[in-house]
Structure 1
Amino acid sequence: MEILQKQLIITGATGMVGEGVLHEAIQSPFVSQILVINRKPCGVTHPKVKEYLLPDFLKPEEMRDAIKGYDACLFCLGVSSVGMKPDEYKQKTYDLTLGFAKVLHDENPNMSFSYISGAGTDSTEQGRLAWARVKGKTENDLSKLGFGDYYSFRPAMIQPTPGLKNALAFYKYINWLFPILKLFVPNSACTLQELGYAMLEASIFGSPVKTVEGKDILAFAKQMRARL
């Protein structure tokens, strides 16, 4: 039986989440080609992988010729709001993401777009936490662009994939929490492999669940494992 294969765009591969998602996409039999879009080289060489360097993600129109014909985008680029002024956080979260997505939609309107958001995101855009409002507005406006399919992923704690190089330094100090969370609050934590599997499941096979919370990430990952 012929295997369904998709061509993916992945952003953020020089960060922990993007690197982990790229790692799973490379190994997936359901992925035939990957275009990695980064500001700087990610250092990954593989027959499936092409790389396009976009020095300024606030000028995404420069990438138009490179992005034609892809089936899905896994948008894993993001910044922490810690120590960042509200206007700067909005620019690097909302403005950057929406600008990038609009260019993608212009060239590939039927593609699937998956966005890494975060647990606690405020879909009402009215809550007390500024970062949660910005993430909520980003999710809401992405969903209105008219992609063929759209998903917001909201992971909480993520356990890095062993052997990868871009895990955030503080994870080595909090990794001991992971088995405790899995035992007592299982939906509040996932492995980076599970998140990668979940994003691949949604982008390749689709789901009626569009806002993907912790429990959904685990369920999607289980579905993908069963396919492998």
Structure 2
Amino acid sequence: MKILIFGATGMVGQGVLRECLLDPDVTQVVSLGRNPTGQQHPKLYEIIHPDLYDYSNIEAELSGIDACFFCLGVSSVGMKEADYARISYDMTLAAATVLARLNPNMVFTYVSGAGTDSSEQGSVMWARVKGKTENALLRLPLRAYMFRPGVIQPLHGVRSKTALYQFFYTLAAPLFPIFRAIFPQQITTTEQLGKAMLIVAKRGSDKKLLESKDIVTLR
């Protein structure tokens, strides 16, 4: 398989990239983003692309993709809805629309989050925007799957680029085994998330919306 990853420098993307590079069924991993991952691997091909709203000059490099793992996102804290939607909705659809045209029926997995609002009418801003994004992706001619993890434990040296989040993960690290024992289906890891995406890319899923419990139990 040839896998395309958006957001490979973020916490989720780092974990997903690791699992893709380890998987023997993956022949090439294309990382697309504004910044390099800082990693080197025979399978890894990086495209540094400043404008994540326009892919017209690199379309040739986006053909022949079997699956796209879209892990790109930002925190909504302190953001106005229009600004958050510009990133979470517009940026995602800009990529997915091009990929749907170049690779009809490819697998496209989108990382949103637990609590995403499919009705697009709720009171929580980020959940409305994510719900709108999910709904738009599901209307495209893609084999699209929405991943809605809850709390994610970073493993294998994966770190969050958001300082406040990383501070929380560092403090919570000794407690994660306890949390996982008490809430086994609400907490996943970067490793589990990456492996679950690969499973869906290989054989699909009977669910289009995968909540945390689905991600944890997917084998």
Q: Could you tell me the TM-score, scaled by structure 1's length?
A: 0.90
**Residue from 191, 203, 206 that aligns with 1:193:** 191
Counterpart-to-counterpart distance in 2, 1:101 and 1:31: 21
Partner of 2:156: 162
Q: CA deviation at 1:14?
A: 1.0
- Asked whether the equivalents of residues 54 and 62 of structure 1 are also in contact (C-alpha less than 8 Å), the reply is no
Partner of 2:203: 205
Deviation >6 Å, runs of 4+: none
5+ residue gaps, structure 2: none
Confirm or deny that 1:183 pairs with 2:184: no
- Asked whether the equivalents of residues 190 and 218 of structure 1 are also in contact (C-alpha less than 8 Å), the reply is yes
- Asked whether the equivalents of residues 62 and 99 of structure 2 are also in contact (C-alpha less than 8 Å), the reply is yes
Partner of 2:34: 39
Letter of the aligned partner of 1:194 in structure 2?
Q
Counterpart-to-counterpart distance in 1, 2:20 and 2:171: 28
Letter of the aligned partner of 2:36 in structure 1?
P
Give per-residue Cα distances to partners, 1:188-215, cap 9 Å, x unaligned. Answer: 1011100010011001121111101011
Aligned ranges 1:144-159 → 2 under 5 Å: 144-147=139-142, 149-159=143-153
Q: What is the alpha-carbon root mean square deviation over aligned residues?
A: 1.3
**Residue from 64, 74, 79 that aligns with 1:79:** 74
Counterpart-to-counterpart distance in 1, 2:175 and 2:89: 31
Partner of 2:212: 214
Give per-residue Cα distances to partners, 1:22-54, cap 9 Å, x unaligned. Answer: 000000011111111010111111111101111
SS of residue matched to 2:65? coil
Q: Could you tell me the TM-score, scaled by structure 2's length?
A: 0.94
Q: CA deviation at 1:146?
A: 1.2
Letter of the aligned partner of 1:119 in structure 2?
A
Q: CA deviation at 1:11?
A: 0.9
- Aligned-residue identity in percent: 48
Letter of the aligned partner of 2:134 in structure 1?
E
**Matched positions, count:** 215
**Residue from 3, 15, 31 that aligns with 1:20:** 15
- Asked whether the equivalents of residues 65 and 106 of structure 2 are also in contact (C-alpha less than 8 Å), the reply is yes
5+ residue gaps, structure 1: 1-5, 224-228
Counterpart-to-counterpart distance in 2, 1:119 and 1:177: 21
Larger displacement relative to structure 2 (155-164 or 179-188): 179-188
Q: CA deviation at 1:150?
A: 1.0
Counterpart-to-counterpart distance in 2, 1:60 and 1:93: 17
Confirm or deny that 1:10 pairs with 2:8: no
Q: CA deviation at 1:65?
A: 1.4
